[in-house]
Amino acid sequence: MVTRKIEGKEYMIPTHIAIIMDGNGRWAKAKNKPRTYGHSQGSQILEKVCEEADDLGVKYITVYAFSTENWGRPKDEVDALMKLLRKFLKDSIKKAKKNSMRVRIIGSRNNLDADILESIIKLENETAHLTGLTLQIALNYGSRNELVRAMKSMMIDIKDEKLTLEQIDEANFEKYLDTQGIPEPDLLIRTSGEHRLSNFLLWQLAYTEFYFTEKYWPDFDKDELIKAIKYFNQRERRFGGV
Ligand code: IPE
Ligand code: IPE
Ligand code: MG
């Protein structure tokens, strides 16, 4: 973990920050605007936050963008989110290259339209070699779905005799998760005043510190990010020790 001076004081910077970007709809409603306006504002904020986090020395950011449960929203909202996603994926290639950012998408690849899948693969391939911040986007993601998929792949490897029952341990199991190769989040941020995980990274967040803010995601900014980092620095991580 790197340290950085913020307002004259030295702080540890979390290597990996996970964010549940929540409250877009309520933010828009408070402004008498359609929920989709909140989503579009929210996606712009994400870009800014990535740049600010990168400047502070954060190495990985994982954001919850669309959950497996979000398909249950009204069709016009889902359609608007997919449209926004298409634009985000396309624009990201240029921006990622400019900021030397590597982008990975986690979540199920089922149910996604063919052109979205294609954009995901293109974005991942074209940024795979970049060595700045790694941005993981949880898209069509649900932790239970991820765990079940991991279990299934593991069973296939056992059937194909690539893996034995004795070899299954925590380290080996992690290799089957979408987040394989990425360190666990040090800090989780959830905006909009909700205090729940909503099926996000259940395995990976086992020892993560949680920071909650009342702010809606489109109002999240550098000050709020610094507040979260200061909060993180007050915590004593014991990992089950004394
Ligand atoms: C988070 O904002 C973005 C997505 C889930 C896609 P919401 O859309 O959940 O906004 P609220 O929670 O209804 O205000
Ligand atoms: C979690 O937010 C998912 C994302 C932020 C993408 P939701 O708004 O969908 O979660 P709940 O419904 O409040 O649990
Ligand atoms: Mg919400």
Please report, in tens digits, the pLDDT of each residue of the chain (242 residues total): 999 999 999 999 999 999 999 999 999 999 999 999 999 999 999 999 999 999 999 999 999 999 999 999 999 999 999 999 999 999 999 999 999 999 999 999 999 999 999 999 999 999 999 999 999 999 999 999 999 999 999 999 999 999 999 999 999 999 999 999 999 999 999 999 999 999 999 999 999 999 999 999 999 999 999 999 999 999 998 899 98
Task: Report the distance separating Cα 55 and Cα 51, nearest Å.
Answer: 6
Compute the distance between CA of residue 168 and CA of residue 165 in angstroms, rounded to an integer.
6
Which ligand 2 atom is the nearest neighbour of the CA of 21? Answer: 5
- Cα(30)–Cα(216) distance, rounded to whole angstroms? 10
Candidate from 19, 20, 21, 22 with most ligand 1 atoms within 8 A of CB, to mutate: 22
**Residue 108: per-residue pLDDT:** 98
Separation of CA 191 and ligand 1 centre (Å): 10
Cβ atoms 223, 54 nearer than 8 A: no
Q: For the chain, what is the largest distance between any 2 Cα atoms, rounded to a whole number of angstroms?
A: 59
pTM for the model:
0.97
Task: Yes or no: say if 1 and 197 are a contact pair by the CB < 8 Å rule.
Answer: no
CA of 194 to the centre of ligand 3 (A): 8
22 lines ligand 2 (CB under 6 A): yes
* Residues noted as catalytic: 22, 70
What is the per-residue pLDDT for 237? 84
64 close to ligand 2 (CB < 6 Angstrom)? yes
Q: Which atom in ligand 1 lies closest to the alpha carbon of residue 194?
A: 12
Q: How far apart are CA 189 and CA 225, in angstroms?
A: 9
Q: Is the CB of 88 under 6 A from ligand 1?
A: no
Rounded-to-integer distance, Cα 58 and Cα 13, Å? 6
Quote the ligand 3 centre to 165 CA distance (angstroms).
40
- The protein residues having their C-beta less than 5 angstroms from ligand 3 (an ion) are 22
CB of 66 closer than 6 A to ligand 2? yes
